[in-house]
Amino acid sequence: MALQQSLPNVKRRLEKYLRRKEVYDIFLIGSAVKGKAFPADIDAVIAFREKKNPSIIQEVKQEQVHAEYVTLGELFTQSLWQTIIREGYSLREKKQVSAALGLSSYGLFTFELTSLKRKARFSQVLHGYKAVSPLEEAKGKQIKPGAVIVPIEKVEYFRAFLETWNVEYGLKYCFMG
């Protein structure tokens, strides 16, 4: 089963738990949310209002997701919160967590090509010479030669493009408001 196709189905199945008063929100995170073409799994964080409900945990385990279960108190003390803000999708709000906070989340790729011949060819492909540009496809922008910024939901797409070209790269995440 292709997970990218099943992501909307998983969202629908998980949304039913939002009707349970114990569940504050469900956040989708990981490669499926960041646009990976064939993610290995779908990751979620189930945030309970006060205490974790074992029966809900058992039910969620049947939903084809890799889930972490936290209370609101635990959510803000874990490094998991950074991941949720950076890449999380809130099922309650039906939008990226960063957008709910008035921010946009991006991946900043940096890379360097040493061979002039390879640099010219890569630049042609990157900018769409005679084809649709991977940069446009990723809704990204070149900040300067060797630096590209893409929205969080296209990070995995652009990473795959760079890896196809065997380009060594660095990746940092950032927000813009």
The mean pLDDT of the chain is 88
User: Hey, CA dihedral for 93, 97, 102, 108, is it positive or negative?
Assistant: negative
pLDDT exceeds 50 at position 1: no
Instruction: Place 2 in a pLDDT band, splitting at 50, 70 and 90.
Output: very low
pLDDT tens-digit profile of 97-120?
999 999 999 999 999 888 767 888
Confidence (pTM) = 0.79
- Dump the DSSP string for 15-84: HGGGGSTTEEEEEEESTTTTT-SS-S--EEEEEESSS--HHHHHHHTTSS-EEEEEEHHHHTTSTHHHHH
pLDDT exceeds 80 at position 6: no
Query: Can you tell me the mean pLDDT for 124-145?
Result: 90
Query: Can you tell me the mean pLDDT for 63-72?
Result: 90
Whole-number percent of the chain with pLDDT over 70: 95
Per-domain boundaries in the chain: 3-100, 104-176
The CATH H-level (homologous superfamily) assignment of domain 3-100 is: Beta Polymerase, domain 2 (3.30.460.10)
pLDDT exceeds 60 at position 130: yes
Rounded Cα gap, residues 126 and 129, in angstroms: 8
Pair type for strands 66-71 and 43-48: parallel
pLDDT for res 27: 95
**Secondary-structure class of domain 104-176 per CATH:** alpha beta
Rounded Cα gap, residues 135 and 126, in angstroms: 6
pLDDT exceeds 70 at position 4: no
pLDDT tens-digit profile of 22-62?
999 999 998 877 777 777 778 999 999 999 999 999 999 88
